[in-house]
Amino acid sequence: MTKELLNELMNALVDGTLFGICFSFWIMILVAVWRWFLGVVKRFLHWLCPKWFKPKTEEIDKN
């Protein structure tokens, strides 16, 4: 193995690691933003039409 081949291999490993770290952070941020956005939409729909989203009530027997 020549020095050039080792150098290219090390560069590829570093590039792949940095890409993986950045990609995973990007995915986590994307998921967080979508969860926040869907929560805002859900709260807006609850505010807009509250009769559609009545909470389920369970009848409790009082014995």
**pLDDT tens, per residue, the chain with 63 residues:** 799 999 999 999 999 999 999 999 999 999 999 999 999 999 999 999 888 777 666 655 555
pLDDT at 29: 98
pLDDT score recorded for residue 63: 53
How much is the pTM?
0.63
Three-state SS at 20:
helix
Q: Tell me the CA distances in angstroms from 49 to 6, 38, 54, one per residue in order.
A: 64, 16, 10
Q: What are 50's two structure tokens?
A: 């509250």
Could you report how far apart the first and last alpha carbons of the chain are, in Å?
83
